[in-house]
């Protein structure tokens, strides 16, 4: 089941398909992570993912 609690702890990271690495942008609440993700350029948003302790979802799938 997807996390919908805005206070849930998440990791926001960018996955670079070309280099094959993940760069963590922040650890914090879902609300804070979504706010930060929305401020990123469109090309960066395409590689953003949010991870909880039991789920991973692409940022654009949430914004959808």
List, for residues 3-55, the tens digit of each pLDDT value: 568 888 999 999 987 777 899 999 999 999 999 999 999 999 999 999 988 88
pLDDT grade for 1, boundaries at 50, 70 and 90? very low
Which tokens go with 44?
């960066």
DSSP assignment of 20-54 equals: TEEEEEEEEEHHHHHHHHHTS-HHHHTTEEEE-SS
Q: Which residues pair with 12 in a beta bridge?
A: 26, 50
Q: What is the pTM of this model?
A: 0.88
């Amino acid at each position: 089941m997807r996390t919908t609690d805005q206070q849930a702890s998440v990791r926001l990271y960018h996955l670079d398909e070309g280099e094959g690495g993940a760069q963590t942008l922040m650890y914090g609440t879902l609300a804070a992570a979504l706010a930060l993700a929305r401020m990123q350029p469109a090309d960066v948003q395409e590689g953003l993912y949010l991870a909880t302790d039991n789920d991973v979802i692409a940022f654009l799938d949430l914004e959808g």
